Amino acid sequence: MSDAFEISPRDEMIDSLTRELTGIKRRRSEIQDQIDSMQTSVDREQGRYTGIATELRSMKENLDTTPREDIRDKYDEALDVRFRLATMRGQLEKFETNNEYLEQQQKTISDILTFLQGSDPLENLEDGAEGSGGAFDIIGLIRTQEEERERLARAMHDGPAQSLTNFILQAEICQRLFDRNPDKASEELNNLKSNASKTFQKVREFIFDLRPMMLGDLGVAPTVRRYVEAFREQNDIEVTPEILGDERRLETYREVMIFRGLQDAMAMARDYANPTTLHVTLDMSGSSWRVSVEDDGRGFDAESIFSGNDEGYNDARVEQLKMLRNRWEMIGGTIDVSSDESAGTRIRMELPSGD
């Protein structure tokens, strides 16, 4: 077997642990967002419950003058709020438990990596890919596929799956209210309908991000226009698109690579750079297609990173950029990244339009 395919067990362990650590940090960030959101909901419901309890005490002090129907309705409302509050607290506790477990995993893996790399510093795996050939390209491809599967599974769990859980909770509340308080049951059903509509829209957006059907039907340019429009609506970022050259079609895999490259670059800018504006360019003129995404957000020392002097950097955006570069180089494309810690970032991608 060729030496290019020989990877030491230690290299494999470090690479595997690094990927695991990156995934844990990403999941902890997402769980913390869920904790913050759920805590806000719990505080809101607790405020409602406190207000209802105060009203019930007032009614108790005026039993002779308070209609029995009002007392019954207020008591039913208190039971419903308490049930909802208990359910939310259970979900909050689950999120916090998961976060604590991941925090322990993160510390353990960090300690192991510190020991392995501190005793014998290793060269970055992606940097070795440039000169070693097939083995590292295969590893990069497998890693990319697995991370994409993980992202999709996480998106399904945190999006539609979580919404369905909330639907079940709301349906149970409606069921309990039908006989005791039809008006309240009708209100809950309206809330359920509204939430279902919002979830349906999110599912449509999720499907579009996963594989826009119009990409196969109409090509890259119309899909980019639609994606930029949706991106602008969903994020508080001003996006300026610029499409140059005559619109034409390429092989399916090339069109997918171009769209995914633009999509990934825009997502990285949104998630890590905190920009206020993005300038997106798709240039279809000439023998190569060129895509660029420029933001005005937080940058980094791109020259040091891509020259191999990246010791001490632990930036998920940098790791994703390296994987994106590897994918494009596999099919003959090139990526150039210019960035500075005090300025924005520009990602320029070029892909030949021929075989």
The three-state secondary structure class of 290 is strand
Q: How far apart are CA 164 and CA 149, in angstroms?
A: 21
Query: H helices of the chain, where?
Result: 9-61, 68-119, 125-132, 134-156, 162-180, 182-210, 213-218, 220-234, 252-268, 302-306, 316-330
All residues at 6 or more sequence positions from 267 whose CB lies less than 8 Å from its CB, including other chains = none
Strand order in the sheet with 277-283: 238-244, 277-283, 288-295, 345-352, 334-339
pLDDT reported for residue 281: 96
Q: How far apart are CA 56 and CA 261, in angstroms?
A: 59
Residue 21: name the closest of 100, 99, 102 by CA.
102
- Calculated CA dihedral for residues 40, 45, 46, 49, nearest 10 degrees: 170
pLDDT reported for residue 134: 41
pLDDT reported for residue 73: 80
Taken in order 273, 279, 282, 283, the sign of the CA dihedral is negative
List phi, psi (to 5°) of 280: -115, 130
User: Residue 68 half-sphere exposure, CB side, CA atoms within 13 Å?
Assistant: 0
Residue type present at position 169: L
pLDDT reported for residue 1: 42
Residue 254 and residue 351 in contact, taking contact as beta carbons nearer than 8 Å: yes
Q: How far apart are CA 8 and CA 284, in angstroms?
A: 43
Which residues are 278's β-sheet partners? 239, 295
User: Residue 186 half-sphere exposure, CB side, CA atoms within 13 Å?
Assistant: 3
- Cα–chain center distance at 9: 32
Structure tokens at 34: 């869920």
Cα separation values, 109 from 14, 20, 101, 248, Å:
10, 8, 13, 48
Average confidence (pLDDT) per 10 residues, the chain, 355 residues: 52 77 84 85 86 84 80 79 78 81 81 64 37 44 60 66 73 78 82 79 68 78 90 89 89 86 91 91 91 91 68 65 82 88 88 73
Q: How far apart are CA 45 and CA 28, in angstroms?
A: 25
DSSP line for 6-73? ---HHHHHHHHHHHHHHHHHHHHHHHHHHHHHHHHHHHHHHHHHHHHHHHHHHHHHTTTTS-HHHHHH
First-to-final CA distance of the chain: 30
Q: What is the DSSP letter of 313?
A: -
Q: What is the DSSP letter of 271?
A: I
Burial class (CB in 10 A: 0-12, 13-18, 19+), 222: middle
Residue 237: name the closest of 291, 307, 295 by CA.
295
Residue in this structure with the two tokens 């759920």, named with its chain if needed: 38
